[in-house]
Amino acid sequence: MNQTNETALPQTNGTSRRRLLLQSTGLALGLGSLALPAQVWAQGSPKIRIGYWPIAAGLPFFTAIELGYFKEAGLEVEAVKFASAQQIVEGMLSDRADGSANGTSSANLAVGELAAPGSFKIFCSNPSNVKNVLDEVIVPINSTVKTIADLKGKRICSAPGIQNVTMAKIVMERGGASGVTVIELPIGQHVAALVAGQIDAAYTLEPTGTIGRLNGSTRVIETGVIAKYVLGDPMAPWFGGSASLTASFIKAHPEAAKKYIAAYAKGVAYVRSKPAEARQFLKGYTAIEGALTAEVPLAAYMLYNEFTPKDIAYFQKFFDLFAEKGIFSSRLLVDTMLYKG
């Protein structure tokens, strides 16, 4: 496993234009001011650095690495763990990463795209709903809360970032829980915060719910909450996370980009056809290991050439919500971000 950790991004000098871009984007993503060195790509086959977040949705990427699909394609791929989805986007804008694995917030990619148009191309997304579970609301095992409405006036947490906080607030509001206080916490701290009584509930992502359920400390009160409360249909596909490559990388290394996407697609195919076997590859990339991996529900996956007009419409509805709430600086068309092959 070729993997490095990058939980914080150091500040360095850069050009004035680069610094202004990174600072404005960093503020939009909630990171403050960051300016990072540009990557200089080697001639020929470059090392491809892919940012990932330690959640179950990244499974096709983890699978492709562990089964050697990238190596078979003649590619050197480095998995870079980031503390949050917005840091992955910041890393891509600053040329510290060439792409994102599935599970990286689609809304954060959109914010980066609005700040620097033409920067990202999504080639695979991970739609989730009540059947293909990624998002959920969990509470302590001994909590009296049975429904989202019971959380009225309570303290809840979400993972850091625009997408997570916004989704948490909307789910609470539309689920009948007014007056909640939303606290941002790294996803790995959600179960511990619930156990310690620091919060009353968490809007979180798998494998968090599985971890808490299996160790007997938390329980899930509802799954697929974005599909139900945001998109209006429990079975609607919520394209909350996406795998992408930077447009600059695709332009500089078109053949390597095609090989990478084809190898990644093999990872998707393996997860689809052999989910039980694929689950073992969550180990080392997420907080769940061993026999517990068999319990984790999985999101679905959709490659760029599998999107139907209806799928794009659901994806667009999700993006439009952020534009309506003023979180996006303007409306962004999903189709302009999709990789065209």
Tens digit of pLDDT for each residue in 66-104?
999 999 999 999 999 998 899 999 999 999 999 999 999
Place of tokens 């930077």: 246
What the chain holds in terms of domains, given with CATH numbers, is: 3-127+239-337 (3.40.190.10), 135-229 (3.40.190.10)
Q: Please report the pLDDT score of residue 2 as a whole number.
A: 54
Mean pLDDT computed over every residue of the chain:
89
> Tokens in use for 196?
């310690």
Helix H or strand E encompassing 203: strand 201-205
Enumerate the β-bridge partners of residue 49: 78
Q: How confident is the model at residue 4 (pLDDT cuts 50, 70, 90)?
A: low
Q: Please report the pLDDT score of residue 7 as a whole number.
A: 43
CA angle, 283 then 132 then 149, to 5° = 105
User: What are phi and psi for residue 54, nearest 5 degrees?
Assistant: -75, 65
| Of 22-31, 58-67, 135-144, the least confident | 22-31
Q: Please report the pLDDT score of residue 39 as a whole number.
A: 38
Q: Please report the pLDDT score of residue 1 as a whole number.
A: 56
C-alpha distance from residue 74 to each of 62, 102, 154, 267 (Å): 17, 22, 52, 16
Q: Please report the pLDDT score of residue 233 as a whole number.
A: 96
Q: Please report the pLDDT score of residue 208 as a whole number.
A: 95
Q: How confident is the model at residue 44 (pLDDT cuts 50, 70, 90)?
A: low
Using an 8 Å Cβ cutoff, are 80 and 91 in contact?
Answer: yes
pLDDT, tens digit, 9 for 90 and up, residues 123-158? 999 999 999 999 999 999 999 999 999 999 999 999
The angle, 0 to 180 degrees and rounded to 10, between the axes of the packed helices 106-115 and 162-174 is 130
Over range 15-31, report the average pLDDT. 41
The Cα–Cα gap between 107 and 162 comes to 7
Q: Please report the pLDDT score of residue 45 as a whole number.
A: 72
Label residues 310-321 b or e (16+ Cβ within 10 Å = b).
ebeebbbbbbeb
The angle, 0 to 180 degrees and rounded to 10, between the axes of the packed helices 85-93 and 16-29 is 170
pLDDT, tens digit, 9 for 90 and up, residues 155-169? 999 999 889 999 999
